[in-house]
Structure 1
């Protein structure tokens, strides 16, 4: 069996080298275009895909391919799942590898927004000394939209910081968090900070729209480390510009990398990160080990 990891970073390749060897696997470091993928993996039966878009046309050019192991939970954001199914290509996600890492990124964005660290950093570098008013997290309500592994980790972190937790989830949550489960309307209207942790599906695409942002508590902080397409970006920008949402932190975007012309870049009350929530060596080690276990 030929196995090809088509888009490894230097860090992922280094972490992979620390794991027990897989002799059938070859690794390409870099981000190939469609022709590059075909050149690399024309004879591969299994592909490890970290972040490469695979359209129906590209999949049709890989006749030997029988399985794609997507290194994360968002395969449908990158791979034409319908075309894969038609071609008999199985697509598997890897889950539960970096819940704590992503939750800690959400916390980092939340703290940055609450204390306006990035804003003051930019101002100081430009010669302006302006101590900005911050917001204490202790005693505030943290609203969590989605309560899988990452949302659960975020709840533990919030509780450790003395925050009140309010949860909206599509299904009933575990018994020890059930007292915190609320309606979506209540979570939006009463939370001082909201952190988004939904999976992206056809039903959740654009889940937070203009109506949802308008329903948020005035002056709320919003953080998204889940998927950019869960959010109507134009609606978020409008809410930020009006001040109804006071600050936001985003690690994910509808289009990645974030285009140079994106109006998100012009929002001063917005902290941006480059989809790095998962990117710790600890999470990478677990991710790759789980991915290799899915090869056969």
Structure 2
């Protein structure tokens, strides 16, 4: 059996991997994170030194020292799609396979974007907090989504799912994406400046790249119509948080909904989350049983493939997996 180390801390193990763990135990010798928190890379090297596979929670980086320091390691399997914190080059130089999970998070993440939009529109959280404090809430005026314009920056899987849901609610959807034509699905494709100027809600759903870092900055916010709202469920680094704070303070930006940010594990930072007019959730977009189980089981599927001499699905660097090939032929 492959000796497999699961990096999830106890809280994350229960939430994200608990239901898949019995399946993994049937096909692998499993070693669990012994601490009640995320491991540092030196700690991970220490605890996983005798393991063949690492199944990594999204908060576990794959740093270069891990791949050089764990000489027995054959594969690093991320139970998330994002591998931006994995040094794939270092893994390849050391002959370690890297693979990621399936995109099972799409419905869950699109739905939390919709939830944040509805909360901002109808002041759900503010009124709920008042009632829980024993305060009679004021009649805060809201607005309906029907007839509003939502601008989607990027037209990947989440945007496509969300666009259909918004259209069913009577929301006009406009899209900007230099690589994908949303017109084939009946949505109007516009330039970024026009999208920012027309939209009541702006949702940056672009991939995180050096080009999209701080995509929403002072200049972009200035182009947004006064009183518009911003919702981010993609990556925290898409927003220049200082610029967003200034736009909230001035009233130019009427509200912000965020499930991601620049704090630990992509959670919203306190600097924005504690401001009036902000609705924040702690990176819950993929935290549904449906998605958590699917991503955990994708790692089990990958371990099963490794044990029978097959490259697992969603491998990133299969040609560089020299350690794995040597293990298969030993």
Of 24-33 and 249-258, more deviation after overlay is shown by 24-33
Contact 1:5 1:48 survives alignment (8 Å): yes
Contact 1:74 1:200 survives alignment (8 Å): no
Q: RMSD value over aligned CA atoms?
A: 2.4
| Unpaired stretches in structure 1, ≥5 consecutive residues | none
1:123 paired with 2:130, answer yes
Per the alignment, do residues 46 and 170 of structure 1 end up closer, same or farther by CA in structure 2, a change over 3 Å counting?
farther
Of 23-32 and 44-53, more deviation after overlay is shown by 23-32
Of 195-204 and 155-164, more deviation after overlay is shown by 195-204
Instruction: Please name the residue that 1:10 is paired with.
Output: 14
- Secondary structure of 1:294's partner? helix
Offset at 1:98?
1.3
The CA distance in 1 between the partners of 2:187 and 2:165, in whole Å, is: 17
1:84 paired with 2:70, answer no
Instruction: Please name the residue that 2:301 is paired with.
Output: 293
Contact 1:5 1:25 survives alignment (8 Å): no
Contact 1:119 1:268 survives alignment (8 Å): no
Offset at 1:259?
8.7
Offset at 1:67?
2.3
Offset at 1:22?
4.5
Q: Whose Rg is larger?
A: 2
1:200 paired with 2:208, answer yes
Contact 2:146 2:169 survives alignment (8 Å): yes
Offset at 1:283?
1.0
Instruction: Please name the residue that 1:211 is paired with.
Output: 219
Instruction: Please name the residue that 1:225 is paired with.
Output: 233
- Give the one of 136, 140, 152 matched to 2:148: 140
Contact 2:236 2:266 survives alignment (8 Å): no
Contact 1:113 1:249 survives alignment (8 Å): yes
Instruction: Please name the residue that 2:30 is paired with.
Output: 26
Contact 1:102 1:278 survives alignment (8 Å): yes
How many residue pairs get aligned? The number is: 295
Offset at 1:233?
0.9
The CA distance in 2 between the partners of 1:116 and 1:289, in whole Å, is: 37
Instruction: Please name the residue that 1:54 is paired with.
Output: 62
Per the alignment, do residues 244 and 88 of structure 1 end up closer, same or farther by CA in structure 2, a change over 3 Å counting?
farther
The CA distance in 1 between the partners of 2:228 and 2:95, in whole Å, is: 46
Offset at 1:231?
1.1
The CA distance in 2 between the partners of 1:229 and 1:258, in whole Å, is: 9
Offset at 1:260?
10
Instruction: Please name the residue that 2:108 is paired with.
Output: 101
Alignment deviations for residues 4-36 of structure 1 (CA, whole Å, 9 cap, x no partner) = 221152122322047576522525265223343
Instruction: Please name the residue that 2:328 is paired with.
Output: none
Contact 1:70 1:92 survives alignment (8 Å): yes
Contact 1:195 1:223 survives alignment (8 Å): yes
The CA distance in 2 between the partners of 1:254 and 1:287, in whole Å, is: 23
Per the alignment, do residues 90 and 200 of structure 1 end up closer, same or farther by CA in structure 2, a change over 3 Å counting?
farther
The CA distance in 1 between the partners of 2:121 and 2:31, in whole Å, is: 41
Alignment deviations for residues 217-271 of structure 1 (CA, whole Å, 9 cap, x no partner) = 1111111111101111111111111111101111111222579983214311111
After TM superposition, list the pairs within 5 Å mapping 1:243-262 onto structure 2. 243-257=251-265, 262=270
